[in-house]
Amino acid sequence: MLLLLPLVVLSCQNPALQANSAEELIEPTQDSALYYLDLVDKSILAPNEYTLAAGHFIAADSLIKTQPEYLMKAGLTCMNQEGAFRLYGVNYLILLTNKFPQHEYAPQALLQLALFFDNVLNDSERASEFLRALVARYPENALVGDAQALLNLISVSETGEIEEVRNWLNKN
């Protein structure tokens, strides 16, 4: 009888208390956000799987919003597909910078947002806002140099000087 007591005690414990995190309770299957987060982490997400992965991330929104790593991976994945989920990616990266401002991904998220707004949405004003936020919030970060260079490039592009340089290069 005494030998069965440890088994009864262990079997009656709350499984959530036995797991180290919520992710351990969820089995990463092919139909789960964790499965696709793992593919993104391993850099083996096929181009035709971006939209499928984005759908799973949005369906598991409450899980995605718990970790900065999840927000970054889901955000970039959603932004890199051609479907309707692109703006979810933007929202995930903005949430990352607001909810986890001290995390190492926050400056990277700001830079990615700037690149997306400038290159995809052709909104250089909004891109500049994200770059200025990166420089102001994280002045010691290694990405500040890139942000400054992009800000300079955007300002040159807005004044038309870059078009003059292109025209000159094409003539010579």
Domain boundaries, the chain: 28-100, 104-172
Choose among 67, 10, 83, 81: nearest CA to 34: 67
> Of 161, 70, 75, nearest to 113 (Cα)?
75
Question: Residue 122 is which amino acid?
Answer: N
pLDDT tens series, the chain, 172 aa:
333 333 333 333 333 333 344 444 445 565 799 999 999 999 999 888 999 999 999 999 999 999 999 999 999 999 998 778 999 999 999 999 999 999 999 999 999 999 999 999 999 999 999 999 999 999 999 999 999 999 998 887 665 565 665 666 666 5
d(CA 29, CA 11): 25
